[in-house]
Amino acid sequence: MNKYYDDWHATTLDTVILSCEKADNGYWITTEESNFYVKGGGMDSDKGTLNGFEVLDVRMTSDGHIAHLIQEPQTGNAHLEVDLYDREMRCEIHSAQHLVCGYINKKYHAKTIAFFNDDTEEGAEMGFTDLNEEILAEIENTCNAYIAEDLPLEILYPTREEAMRYAPEEKLEHDELRAVKIGDIDYNMCACVHVPSLRYLGMVKMTHFEKTTRGYKIFFVCGKQLNNLFERQNRLLRNLGKHFSTHPLEIDKSVTHLEEENRAHLSQIKHLEEEKCDHLADKYLRDPRGIIAEEFVNLDNAVFSKLAAILTSGGKTVLFLSREGKGARFIFAKPKDAPADLTGILKKVKEITEVRGGGAPFRMQGSIPSCPDNVIALLKEFED
Q: Does 147 bind Zn ion (CB under 5 A)?
A: no
**CB 192, min distance to Zn ion, A:** 4
Per DSSP, the three-state class of 209 is: strand
Amino acid identity, residue 261?
E
**CB 186, min distance to Zn ion, A:** 9
Nearest residue to Zn ion on Cβ basis: 190
Please say whether the beta carbons of 59 and 38 come within 8 A.
Answer: yes
Choices 12-20, 100-108, 180-188, 257-265; region in contact with Zn ion by CB under 5 A: 180-188
Residues 6+ apart with CB under 8 A from 75: 17, 20
- Scanning residues 85 to 104, which ones bind Zn ion (CB under 5 A)? none
**CB 61, min distance to Zn ion, A:** 23
**CB 41, min distance to Zn ion, A:** 6
* Cα–Cα dist 55/67, whole Å: 10
Choices 178-186, 220-228, 300-308, 365-373; region in contact with Zn ion by CB under 5 A: 178-186
* Cα–Cα dist 380/384, whole Å: 9
**CB 263, min distance to Zn ion, A:** 52
* Cα–Cα dist 150/142, whole Å: 13
Nearer to Zn ion, 97 or 322 (CB): 97
Choices 85-93, 173-181, 264-272, 347-355; region in contact with Zn ion by CB under 5 A: 173-181
Residue 32 backbone class (left: φ over 0; alpha: ψ -120 to 50; beta: rest)? alpha
Per DSSP, the three-state class of 146 is: helix
Nearer to Zn ion, 187 or 304 (CB): 187
* Cα–Cα dist 234/247, whole Å: 12
Nearer to Zn ion, 8 or 216 (CB): 8
**CB 194, min distance to Zn ion, A:** 6
- Scanning residues 203 to 262, which ones bind Zn ion (CB under 5 A)? none
Q: Which of 15, 19, 39 is nearest to 29 (CA)?
A: 19
Q: Does 198 bind Zn ion (CB under 5 A)?
A: no
**CB 155, min distance to Zn ion, A:** 9
**CB 190, min distance to Zn ion, A:** 3
In this structure, how many other beta carbons lie within 10 angstroms of the beta carbon of residue 163? 21
Nearer to Zn ion, 197 or 367 (CB): 197
Q: Binding string to Zn ion for residues 289 to 308, with x set by CB under 5 A, is what?
A: --------------------
Choices 128-136, 165-173, 187-195, 280-288; region in contact with Zn ion by CB under 5 A: 187-195
* Residue 365, beta-bridge partner list: 331, 358
CA angle 113, 116, 117 (to 5 degrees): 160
Choices 24-32, 175-183, 241-249, 250-258; region in contact with Zn ion by CB under 5 A: 175-183
Please say whether the beta carbons of 110 and 127 come within 8 A.
Answer: yes
Q: Does 192 bind Zn ion (CB under 5 A)?
A: yes
Choices 83-91, 172-180, 247-255, 361-369; region in contact with Zn ion by CB under 5 A: 172-180
**CB 25, min distance to Zn ion, A:** 30
Nearer to Zn ion, 192 or 204 (CB): 192
Nearer to Zn ion, 115 or 244 (CB): 115
**DSSP string spanning 18-43?**
EEEEEETTEEEEEESS--PPPSBTTB
Nearer to Zn ion, 11 or 322 (CB): 11
Q: Which of 124, 190, 307, 355 touches Zn ion by CB under 5 A?
A: 190
CA angle 186, 187, 192 (to 5 degrees): 100
**DSSP string spanning 254-290?**
HHHHHHHHHHHHHHHHHHHHHHHHHHHHHHHHSSS-S
**CB 204, min distance to Zn ion, A:** 16
- Number of chain positions touching Zn ion (CB under 5 A): 3
Q: Which of 71, 36, 53, 34 is nearest to 193 (CA)?
A: 36
Q: Does 70 bind Zn ion (CB under 5 A)?
A: no
Binding-site ranges for Zn ion (CB under 5 A): 180, 190, 192
